[in-house]
């Protein structure tokens, strides 16, 4: 019987990294062939462990209802579409005035305020993708090889003048710019002379980007990529796109951000947490950034947040959408759960079902204290992700 296609991190068979595969595969076959199976499962996030023993049943979905749902999601008034898809905002003094008109028209049409901040689900999704992506790249990084291998680059792109186009126009330009980066030559830099060499580096394949607004209302972008990116090349290509839109050349419009390093051993400090936090931070105004979340609850959104982006706020390469936290099934899941739960703090909430248990704590540090086998299981998950991202192992068995 042919097994349905799954994500590669659950049932991929690989001789060199054959951890937990047979066990996962056996339970997956049970799911395909049985009407009711209880499947123990453990999901390991950065600072939490989720354990469940769910009863999986085959479901017959109402396709007509699903189609109606999709249609409802696509419904939007012509007036709002017309404002949102405006390319140039020459009829307004600045981008803030243009946004204010859209927000007032949105409230008048929809009867509710436009959401100024990303939802909790969106933030968690971006965090998961960036976390697994970074750890996967670092799992195969060897410091002695330099930039001739997959590595992490974190870049920022800004406008050189006050914004005179709609967010959607700038976002589309940025997406076109990323597509251009996949083709342009990316020359390496000599670490001693700091001069450009004639040696080409790897080209970008996987990436995650996030759009934000500045205090003055201008949109800017953060890009997390899987290769070293030459800053001079970035600046040249990005400025070409800006000049095509009518903006002047700007030397500081494209920057490769340096990651925080430990002064003692010169090693990068907790790259994953630093980048995940940066990619998911709330668009707070500068005067509210030092306050805690509980101190902002009583304030209205329009007071604490910068102007919202009227368009897509993030995006990534297709493969990154399939990345998942480490998951273990069956006896392996129970083994991990009983070894770690005593050293973690249980998270209790009335909204959590009885068959799901959530524990919080430093999962990575706890795994370092466990057996070599458990540590290898966790590391191999991210190395499998790395191999799959670059087609070194197949998607299905």
pLDDT at 70 (0 to 100): 43
Which of 282, 301, 319 is the C-terminal boundary of a domain? 319
Asked whether residue 333 falls in the same domain as residue 267, the answer is no
Q: Is residue 182 part of a domain?
A: yes
Asked whether residue 272 falls in the same domain as residue 335, the answer is no
Per-residue pLDDT of the chain (397 residues; tens, 9 = 90+): 444 444 444 433 343 334 344 444 444 555 455 455 567 888 888 888 888 876 555 555 455 454 444 444 444 455 566 666 676 777 777 888 888 888 888 888 888 888 888 888 999 999 999 999 999 998 888 877 778 888 889 999 999 999 999 899 999 999 999 999 998 888 888 777 777 888 888 889 999 999 999 999 999 999 999 998 888 899 999 999 999 999 999 888 999 886 655 555 545 557 777 788 888 888 888 888 888 878 888 888 888 889 999 889 999 999 999 999 998 888 888 888 888 888 888 888 777 787 788 888 888 778 778 777 778 888 888 999 999 998 766 544 3
Asked whether residue 242 falls in the same domain as residue 268, the answer is yes
pLDDT at 365 (0 to 100): 79
The residue segments making up the domain with residue 47 are 8-58+325-389
Asked whether residue 356 falls in the same domain as residue 303, the answer is no
Q: Would you mind telling me the total number of residues written for the chain in this entry?
A: 397
Q: Is residue 89 part of a domain?
A: no
Q: How far apart, in whole angstroms, are the C-alpha atoms of residue 225 and residue 238?
A: 16
Asked if 44 and 340 touch (Cβ cutoff 8 Å), the reply is: no
Which of 288, 319, 350 is the C-terminal boundary of a domain? 319
Asked if 380 and 136 touch (Cβ cutoff 8 Å), the reply is: no
Asked whether residue 261 falls in the same domain as residue 139, the answer is yes
Q: Extract the tokens encoding 337.
A: 């759960």
Asked whether residue 241 falls in the same domain as residue 286, the answer is yes
Q: Is residue 1 part of a domain?
A: no
Asked whether residue 157 falls in the same domain as residue 176, the answer is yes
pLDDT at 397 (0 to 100): 31
Q: Is residue 110 part of a domain?
A: no
Q: Are strands 207-213 and 314-316 parallel, antiparallel or unpaired?
A: antiparallel
Query: Measured on CA atoms in the order 328, 330, 332, 334, is the torsion positive or negative?
Result: positive
Q: What is the CATH number of the domain that holds 160?
A: 3.30.70
Note the pLDDT tens digit of each residue in 307-355: 999 889 999 999 999 999 998 888 888 888 888 888 888 888 777 787 7
Burial of 307 (0-12, 13-18, 19+ CB in 10 A): buried
Q: How many domains does the chain have?
A: 2
- Measured N-to-C along each axis, helices 330-340 and 21-33 cross at an angle, to the nearest 10 degrees, of 120
Q: Is residue 99 part of a domain?
A: no
pLDDT at 57 (0 to 100): 54
Asked whether residue 355 falls in the same domain as residue 214, the answer is no
In angstroms, the Cα distances linking 153 to 207, 224, 259, 312 are: 9, 6, 9, 22
Asked if 170 and 163 touch (Cβ cutoff 8 Å), the reply is: yes
Q: How far apart, in whole angstroms, are the C-alpha atoms of residue 279 and residue 273?
A: 10
pLDDT at 274 (0 to 100): 78
Asked whether residue 198 falls in the same domain as residue 258, the answer is yes
Note the pLDDT tens digit of each residue in 213-230: 999 999 999 999 999 888
Asked whether residue 197 falls in the same domain as residue 251, the answer is yes
Query: Measured on CA atoms in the order 303, 306, 310, 313, is the torsion positive or negative?
Result: negative
Which of 297, 319, 341 is the C-terminal boundary of a domain? 319
Asked whether residue 298 falls in the same domain as residue 335, the answer is no
pLDDT at 3 (0 to 100): 41
Q: Dihedrals φ, ψ of 374, to 5°?
A: -65, -40
Asked whether residue 185 falls in the same domain as residue 51, the answer is no
Q: Extract the tokens encoding 251.
A: 């030397």
């Amino acid at each position: 019987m042919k097994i349905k296609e799954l994500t590669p991190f659950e049932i991929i068979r690989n001789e060199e990294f054959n951890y937990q595969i047979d066990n996962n595969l056996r339970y997956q076959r049970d799911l395909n062939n049985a009407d009711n199976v209880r499947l123990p499962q453990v999901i390991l996030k950065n600072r939490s462990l989720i354990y469940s023993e769910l009863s999986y049943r085959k479901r017959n979905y109402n396709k007509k209802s699903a189609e109606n749902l999709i249609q409802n999601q696509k419904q939007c008034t012509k007036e709002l579409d017309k404002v949102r898809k405006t390319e140039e905002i020459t009829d307004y003094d600045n981008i803030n005035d243009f946004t204010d008109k859209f927000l007032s028209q949105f409230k008048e049409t929809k009867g509710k305020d436009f959401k100024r901040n990303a939802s909790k689900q969106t933030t968690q999704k971006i965090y998961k993708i960036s976390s697994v992506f970074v750890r996967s790249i670092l799992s195969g990084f060897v410091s002695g090889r330099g930039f001739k291998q997959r590595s992490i680059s974190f870049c920022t792109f800004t406008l050189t003048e006050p914004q005179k186009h709609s967010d959607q126009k700038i976002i589309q330009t940025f997406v076109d710019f990323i597509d251009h980066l996949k083709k342009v030559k990316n020359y390496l830099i000599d670490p001693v002379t700091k001069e450009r060499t004639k040696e080409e580096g790897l080209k970008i394949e996987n990436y995650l980007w996030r759009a934000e607004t500045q205090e003055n209302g201008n949109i800017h972008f953060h890009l997390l990529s899987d290769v070293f990116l030459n800053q001079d090349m970035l600046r040249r290509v990005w400025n070409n796109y800006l000049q095509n839109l009518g903006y002047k050349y700007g030397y500081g419009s494209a920057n490769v951000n340096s990651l925080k390093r430990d002064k003692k051993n010169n090693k990068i400090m907790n790259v994953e947490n630093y980048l995940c936090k940066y990619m998911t931070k709330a668009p707070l105004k500068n005067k509210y950034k030092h306050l805690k979340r509980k101190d902002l609850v009583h304030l209205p959104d329009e007071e604490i947040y910068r102007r919202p982006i009227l368009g897509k706020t993030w995006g990534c390469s297709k493969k990154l959408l399939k990345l998942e936290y480490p998951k273990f099934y069956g006896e392996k899941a129970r083994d991990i759960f009983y070894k770690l739960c005593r050293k973690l703090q249980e998270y209790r909430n009335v909204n959590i079902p009885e068959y799901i248990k959530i524990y919080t704590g430093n999962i990575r540090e706890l795994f370092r204290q466990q057996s070599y086998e458990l540590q290898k299981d966790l590391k191999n998950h991210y190395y499998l992700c790395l191999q799959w991202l670059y087609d070194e192992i197949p998607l299905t068995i």
